[in-house]
Structure 1
Amino acid sequence: MKFSKLITVFAGALVVTTLLVACGTKKESNADNAKQSQTTKSEPKKIEVTDAKGKKLTVPTHPKKVVVFDNGSLDTINALGEGKSVAAVALKNLPPYLSEFKSVESAGGLKEPDLEKINAVQPDLIIISARQESFKKDLEKIAPVLYLGVDNAKVWESTKANIMTLANIYGKETEATKQVETLEKNIAAVKEKAQKANLSTLTVLSNEGQLAAFGPGSRYAIVNDVFGFNSVDKTIKASTHGQQVSYEYVLEKNPDVLFVVDRTKALSGKTTETLVASNELVKQTNASKNKKVIDLDPTLWYLSGGGLQSTQLMLDGVAKALD
């Protein structure tokens, strides 16, 4: 009888011990799962994208802190309703149409990134274009660097690709597609008018009185290759900095429309000492006689481009030639 009771007591103790062990194991398992779940939530999801040079890289989706040097990308992010994610920009060279970003941190200038400040921001992503290429390796030590420059040989195609890359990162593909479609309709309307008008045009960059001309395939190829305006000189060498020309050249080519981008004004806010429109040789051109010497917004054309907002603003600028 005593032996039977002893067995019963032992069996009961064994059951209790087993239950306690099981309960402890379950609690540990639940704690591990909760910890794993919390870790998963804290780590941002990532996506593989292709930059403007065809290089693939992995970047976070829905980034919370982005440093943006390319103003075209900045206006696209803003147009997609994701401006709140921008933590720092090149405030020294911020176009007025993007003035709402004046309150964010300064990342330096377009050609002189402030690496110390950028590092302090601790960004999830850094977006650059051609002007910051020499700093790419240094910036990559801070965060993933996405290059989104525009290819002058295929302006609109590369612009659309850059827009959709940003849309993929932010999960705004539908919104971006709608805005691109609207842009394409607007471009088509201006292009049709430009082709009917059949005006010869010349686009020049003015820098302290010196001129550089741009034609198809060049920095301002969007005027001819996308917006449909005829170039008065199709032999202009395609170049980022343009082909140096004289005022005599402008008179010789005698364009119906002269588009002017004032670099000095873009960088300093001051008007160049010798205005292109007031030059005596320019006054003899058809463009001057027909009041078609058109000053394009220099802060837009020289400091930005390639974005949803900037492309529309550029289109509006050249459309004045058709009034």
Structure 2
Amino acid sequence: MLSVVVVLAVLWVGVKFQRPTEPAPGQESPAARAAAPEGRTVTHGQGTTVVPLNPKRVVVFDLVALDILQALEVDVYGVAAPPFPPHLERFSDAAKYPRMGTLFEPDYEALQAARPDLIISGGRSSAKYANLSRIAPTLDVPMSGKDYIASVIANTELLARAFGKEEKARALIEELRESVADLQQMTATRGKGLVVLVTGGRMSAYGPGSRFGVIHGDFGVPEAAAGLQASLHGESINAEFIREKNPDWLFVIDRDAATGQNAGNARQVLDNELVRQTTAWQQGQVVYLDPATTYLSGGGIQSVKLLRDQVATAYTQQAQAQQ
């Protein structure tokens, strides 16, 4: 009887002090698997975030991101308050897409109540990233005018990874690249251009690498005014500057119209004796770019395609008129 007790005691000690089985090389332990969050790891403008798989309650504080998500066929739960460009007009339905503040200032109370799975910031809301990321996993969509189309493509790929939409993104990107290459064939030898933003009666010019530098840097329109500052707000100019540079093409962005203040102000500002002396004016080559699409959501893949199409249409129509 004593021998049986001794054997049982030895077996008990062996079981109690048996070392846990080590995982095979390259394999996670059960504890590590349990601790690891389920989702996709996405690198973005302000770090790396684990995005939950198939997030449903997505809140967006950036129109560029909203543009891309719509193109990727990803729906969202809540958005910042208007204005919206025409192609994003469906998000103006506040009953369907609850307001979560503005592009500059989130409504944190509404956001907390919404209990989002994912928040997306960018552009005007990037400064609020730290606060937003305390509420839910947050992605920040960066934008660079220095290499505009490359930035659009990178952001499309970023959001595609977050939602498992890589195949859709590849098709959109290929279409964009082909359409931009076609436009470059039109613009290369058709004269020089100048990009001008008008707001409150004042004018600013934008060159390559600036906020609206896509016209030169990617669409291939030669510069009428070399050496402009590559800045967010452009370089302040006047009508005499435009006459001196004498662009063959004048691309105009009416900021007041984009923000719903004073539509048509740009036409009034430019319709003066000095600007009327330019080749662009005399040849009917003043192109008023869609203000809301260009100014509000210009870095979205849909927006840049719409901008590309508008420029291509202007060149095509002018070529037909000169035949």
> Shift of the alpha carbon at 1:44?
8.4
Question: d(CA) in 1 for partners of 2:264 and 2:248?
Answer: 23
Q: Unpaired runs of 5+ in structure 1?
A: 1-39
Tell me the equivalent position of 2:163.
170
1:255 lines up with 2:241 in the alignment: no
The one-letter code sitting in structure 1 at the alignment partner of 2:138 is: V
Q: How many residues end up aligned between the 2 structures?
A: 278
Counterpart in 1 of 2:39?
46
**Deviations, residues 100-138 of structure 1 (Å, cap 9, x unaligned):** 122211122222222222222211111111211222222
Larger radius of gyration: 1
Once the two structures are superposed, what CA deviation does each residue of 1:259-317 show, in whole Å capped at 9, x if it has no partner?
11111111125325462442222111111101111111111111102222111101012
Residues in 1 aligned to 2:208 and 2:196: alpha-carbon distance in whole angstroms: 13
Q: Report the equivalent of 1:212.
A: 204
Contact 2:101-2:107 at 8 Å conserved across structures = yes
Paired-residue identity, %: 38
Matched-pair contact (CA < 8 Å) for 1:209–1:272: no
Q: 1:90 aligns with which of 52, 73, 80?
A: 80
Once the 2 structures are TM-superposed, how far is the Cα of residue 320 of structure 1 from its aligned partner? 3.3
Q: Secondary structure at the match of 1:183?
A: helix
More helix by share: 1
Alignment pair present for 1:238 and 2:230: yes
The answer for the alignment partner of 2:172 in structure 1 is 179
Shift of 1:45: 3.4
Are 2:287 and 1:297 aligned?
no
**Pairwise CA distance, 1:218:** 0.3
Amino acid at match of 1:317: Q
Counterparts of 2:37 and 2:289, CA distance in 1: 42
CA distance in 2, matches of 1:273, 1:72: 25
Aligned partner of 2:260 in structure 1 is: 268
Q: CA 1:299 to 1:273, structure 2 compared with 1: closer, same or farther past 3 Å?
A: closer
Q: Quick check: 1:200–1:255 contact (8 Å CA) kept in 2?
A: yes
Give the letter aligned to residue 202 of structure 1. L
Taking only aligned residues, the RMSD between alpha carbons, in angstroms, comes to 1.8
What is the rounded CA distance, in whole Å, between the counterparts of 2:233 and 2:105 in structure 1? 19
TM-score, normalised on structure 2? Answer: 0.81
After TM superposition, the runs of 4+ consecutive aligned structure 1 residues lying more than 4 A away are none
Q: Secondary structure at the match of 2:65?
A: helix
User: What SS is found at the alignment partner of 1:224?
Assistant: helix
Alignment of 1:46-65 (within 5 A): 46-52=39-45, 55-65=47-57
State the shift of 1:229 in Å.
Answer: 0.8
Cα distance in 2 for residues equivalent to 1:319 and 1:225: 15
Matched, 1:117 2:107: no
Q: Is the 8 A contact 1:261 1:297 kept in 2?
A: yes
- Contact persistence 1:93–1:110 (CA under 8 A): no
CA distance 1:279–1:125, shift in 2 (3 Å): farther
Distance 1:52 1:157, change over 3 A: farther
